[in-house]
Amino acid sequence: MATTPFPFAGTIPGIYEQYLGPYIFEPYAVYITSRIKKAPQNVLEIAAGTGRVSRHIAERIGSNATLTAIDISPAMLHIAKQQVHAPNVEFLEADAQALPFPDNSFDTVICQFGFMFLPDRQKGFDEAYRVLKPGGQFLFLTWDRAENNITYHICHQTVLQYLKAPPPPFYGKPYTMYDPDALRSHVMNAGFTNATIEKITLQGETPTAMHAATGFIEANAIADEIVKEGPGLLQTIKDAVVAKIHAQVSKDPVRSELNAWLGEAFK
């Protein structure tokens, strides 16, 4: 199994779920699930993470249908299994670039904010096409530019201002698939004959700016790089992020615009 270039281990999954889950992932989990058409009997979710989308899919498809939710990170799946207890949901550790399923296995394939992390992104789209049944629906989300997701952008830029060493390659990776033409090319190159790519703007809310700062920094291995430069630097950066969010976005609770790209295609 290939390893992910983005380190989702240690305390990261728990912080990711606690601070970023309700703020930036839940609104899109509700939205992408609402786009499921017909009444699929078996659904595959790629990059299920901590199970936020999984829970909504299970509710939407009902107990007579099945959901198989895969992720490459056992630590993320550990949290997902604690949060989703539906009997029709199975969580599996698997690589999106080499799905362990036969061709034409699923009525619907969904991936929310997962393809950005794949070493071979096209392979992820190819595999989604391969395991989808003829006539099946493919849905995916990727983040728009960092600049169009303001609280993340503030955090990212602030970290770069304080860090002396260049950041690791993984830093900023979640916001690197924002070109709709490139997204359409991935879908078409996988074998789909048509695809729609549309920007989806939603609102996120988090109780405090410190929640946002904690999520964007500590649910990310960049926190380790920060601590290496000085044990007090982590709090200094978080405080700076909070001040900028309050000045540029809103006071607590923080409400901000979120922007992502939704892709949809049928086999």
Q: Domain with 94 in it: what CATH number?
A: 3.40.50.150
pLDDT for the residue 139:
98
Global confidence as pTM: 0.95
Answer yes or no: are the C-beta atoms of 138 and 265 closer than 8 Å: yes
pLDDT tens for the chain, 267 residues long, are: 334 455 676 888 999 999 999 999 999 999 999 999 989 999 999 999 999 999 999 999 999 999 999 999 999 999 999 999 999 999 999 999 999 999 999 999 999 999 999 999 999 999 999 999 999 999 999 999 999 999 999 999 999 999 998 888 889 999 999 999 999 999 999 999 999 999 999 999 999 999 999 999 999 889 999 999 998 999 999 999 999 999 999 999 999 999 999 999 999
In-domain check, residue 61: yes
In-domain check, residue 6: no
In-domain check, residue 3: no
Q: What are phi and psi of 37, to 5 degrees?
A: -100, 160
In-domain check, residue 109: yes
Question: What is the C-alpha separation between 182 and 121, in angstroms, rounded?
Answer: 11
Answer yes or no: are the C-beta atoms of 156 and 216 closer than 8 Å: yes
Total domain count, the chain = 1
Determine if the peptide bond prior to 253 is cis (ω within 30°).
Answer: yes
**Domain around 60:** 12-266
In-domain check, residue 1: no
In-domain check, residue 2: no
In-domain check, residue 7: no
Q: Where are the alpha helices (DSSP H) in the chain?
A: 12-15, 26-34, 52-61, 74-83, 121-131, 150-162, 180-190, 209-218, 222-229, 233-248
In-domain check, residue 228: yes
pLDDT for the residue 1:
34
